[in-house]
Amino acid sequence: MTQFTASGAQPASTSPSMTLVGDVCIDENVIDGVHSLTWGSSTAYMSHYLRRNHHVVPTIVASYADDFLPFADGLVLAGPARSGATLRYENIVVDDRRVQYCHGAEENTPQPLCGDAKNAISTADVLVIAPLTPALPHDYVGEVLKLAKPDALTILMPQGYMRRFDENGLVSQGEFVSAGELIRFVDLVVFSDEDYPDAVAQAQAWHRESPSTSFVVTQNKHGATLVDSSGLRSIPTQPLAPGEQVSPVGAGDIFTAGLALAMMNGQPIEQAIATAHRSVVTVPAGVSGDA
């Protein structure tokens, strides 16, 4: 197990064990001409949030290369670095309009599951599958899910399966091909209405095919829609208090982490969704909540 754990980050003894399977990446951001490099991916956003806010330190099972190591502080990565380059997302933002490119998807193939990875998967109370590209093989995910404990909460974040890249790596929306091969094997699917056209209708269609799976469609300021065996329910967000804000970067990942933790703490799913809404709210440093 390769650990890059920041000082003071020790999981509480009663905390659930979480394992995040999918991808990590390096984000190359050019925002109004200002260039920066940082860590990215759903697995990293969830891990940093859970460690910082709940003292839960997940294990990440993902393919990464040596160039990711400078960005790995605070993360626990199962398995060694591979050769080559880590998956990289280039985000170009001008006047609040973003164009996104993906580089290295063709070499970002999952490595064989090592002993540490298998142990982290098989002992996890929560197992999250979170690919960044459609290239994560379904049979690999099937192998991962077969290792999961029977009582583990299994969650699929299919955003990566809903992406396509042209010859230059330009990212666009795509169809979740063969979704039924995966969704019927997980407890919960979480995705955004920005990821898929007619997202709620699609969640209803998938639920008809996989009635034992629940679906949560996040809808930004409109809250979220839950589709499960009890039907379709809308769970609104609470208005922000003065000084509070929600950053759109990583919000869906933090929402899913908060949702999983709330469910593991015994909250019914509707209440857990309301709790997850609050998990993405922050108060900037130096701003009073009652200002």
Structure tokens that stand for 52 in this block: 């910082």
pLDDT at 244: 52
Query: Once rounded to an integer, what is the mean pLDDT over residues 274-281?
Result: 83
> Which range has the worst mean pLDDT, 76-80, 115-119, 147-151, 275-279?
275-279
Query: Once rounded to an integer, what is the mean pLDDT over residues 54-72?
Result: 96
pLDDT bracket for residue 14 (50, 70, 90): low
Q: Are 278 and 238 in contact (CB under 8 A)?
A: yes
pLDDT bracket for residue 282 (50, 70, 90): low
Q: Is the pLDDT of residue 272 over 50?
A: yes
* b/e per residue 210-233 (b: at least 16 CB within 10 A): beebbbbbbbeeebbbbbbeeeee
> Which range has the worst mean pLDDT, 72-76, 212-216, 283-287?
283-287
pLDDT at 12: 39
pLDDT bracket for residue 47 (50, 70, 90): very high
Contacts of 73 (CB under 8 A, 6+ apart): 4, 6
pLDDT at 145: 97
Identify the CA nearest to 105 among candidates 75, 61, 136, 82: 136
Domains and CATH numbers, the chain: 2-282 (3.40.1190.20)
> Which range has the worst mean pLDDT, 106-110, 187-191, 269-273?
106-110
Q: Whole-angstrom Cα distance, residue 202 to residue 22?
A: 23
